[in-house]
């Protein structure tokens, strides 16, 4: 009984029990996201980036934008197992939420992009996403839209339109898509009533069973420093778990698909758990439909533990406390399309 009381006391101080003896600090999410020195966040750049984020004309046939797969009006994703790109093509991986992506040290499921700026260029030329033949054509497409020039001038000082500036503006907008004021954040800042008893129990269980080994830090995604080498985690660790075959968790070989290196097989970036209640279905292939089932899968395939129904329910309740208030977004006004551009 004394041990239980001690654990609860530390939890109320914003601390967690890890491995029974060591204490790891729970962290609240910062109110603003960090920006690289060569791309400081400004209101003008954010405004331009938002326009480009919503503009479907960055895709080959004018049907897909960043917003199509990462819906900022909902959970920052598209609620599909895998996304639909140009010509109704299906992608091979689940669209991760764009919310709080600024706190990842690398981008994409396999961490192949080192920054939001680098990531922003990828979907434009992906043949099953936005489908542009190359980045130079995407840049020319934006140049043909005369109404963009004043916004580039306001954001960058001149009206020169380059693919790097397009990516920098989109990244600047994405760095504003953060959700810091969750019940969990209020709890670790001292509001003892911000979490229910079940959520507090789930918070303790989350730490006790080992979830924090990967889902650590303020963003519950592990490493957050883009200036250090990117760190990926193997998933699944326990291939013998019944869930691995049931949900096809090893069909996609992760980072290996990009590098061809044997050591990169089934290596993945740790996804954020913030707003996870809004982003079903789950995992890189989008084959798990409920949060509770996702917790069971992780317990078995990653931690080699058969979690009880109560443990699952408690952890899921805690994860729901990571849901932030909906971001207030308005649709941007975009420059008109010249006749014949998309024919």
Catalytic annotation, residues: 129
The phi-psi region of residue 18 (left if phi > 0; otherwise alpha if psi is between -120 and 50; otherwise beta) is: beta
Rounded Cα gap, residues 201 and 11, in angstroms: 10
Partner residues linked to 254 by β-bridges = 267
Rounded Cα gap, residues 340 and 343, in angstroms: 5
Identify whether the C-beta of residue 169 lies closer than 8 Å to the C-beta of residue 52: yes
Identify whether the C-beta of residue 297 lies closer than 8 Å to the C-beta of residue 243: yes
Smallest CA-to-CA distance from 232 within 251, 254, 258, 217 is with 254
Distances (CA, A) of 185 to 173, 215, 218: 23, 16, 9
Distances (CA, A) of 302 to 216, 217, 238, 330, 338: 15, 19, 6, 40, 52
SS3 316: helix
Identify whether the C-beta of residue 305 lies closer than 8 Å to the C-beta of residue 209: yes
Alpha helices in 13-102 (DSSP H): 43-54, 66-69
């Amino acid at each position: 009984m004394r041990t239980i009381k001690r654990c609860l006391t530390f939890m109320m101080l914003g601390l967690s029990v890890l491995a029974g003896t060591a204490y790891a600090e729970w962290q609240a999410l910062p109110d603003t996201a960090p920006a690289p020195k060569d791309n400081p966040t400004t209101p003008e750049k954010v405004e331009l980036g938002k326009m480009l984020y919503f503009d479907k004309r960055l895709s080959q046939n004018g049907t897909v934008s960043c917003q199509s797969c990462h819906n900022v009006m909902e959970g920052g994703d598209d609620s599909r197992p895998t996304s639909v790109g140009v010509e109704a093509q299906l992608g091979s991986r689940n669209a991760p939420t764009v919310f709080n992506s600024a706190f990842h040290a690398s981008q994409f499921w396999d961490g192949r992009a080192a920054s939001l700026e680098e990531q922003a260029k990828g979907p434009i030329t992906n043949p099953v996403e936005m489908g542009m033949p190359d980045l130079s054509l995407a840049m020319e497409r934006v140049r043909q839209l005369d109404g963009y020039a004043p916004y580039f001038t306001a954001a960058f000082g001149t009206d020169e339109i380059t693919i790097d500036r397009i990516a920098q503006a989109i990244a600047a907008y994405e760095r504003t898509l953060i959700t810091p004021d969750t019940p969990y954040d209020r709890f670790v800042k001292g509001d003892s009533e911000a979490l229910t008893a079940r959520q507090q129990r789930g918070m303790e269980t989350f730490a006790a069973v080992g979830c924090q080994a990967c889902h650590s830090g303020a963003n519950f995604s592990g490493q957050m420093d883009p200036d250090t080498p990117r760190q990926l985690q193997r998933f699944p660790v326990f291939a013998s778990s019944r869930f691995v075959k049931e949900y096809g968790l090893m069909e996609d070989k992760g980072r290996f698909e990009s590098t061809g290196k044997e050591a990169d097989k089934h290596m993945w970036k740790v996804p954020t758990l913030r707003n996870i209640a809004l982003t079903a279905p789950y995992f890189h292939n989008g084959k798990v439909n409920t949060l509770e089932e996702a917790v069971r899968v992780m317990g078995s395939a990653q931690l080699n533990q058969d979690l009880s129904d109560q443990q699952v329910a408690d952890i899921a309740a805690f994860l729901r406390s990571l849901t932030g208030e909906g971001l207030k977004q308005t649709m941007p006004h975009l420059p008109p399309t010249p006749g014949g551009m998309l024919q």
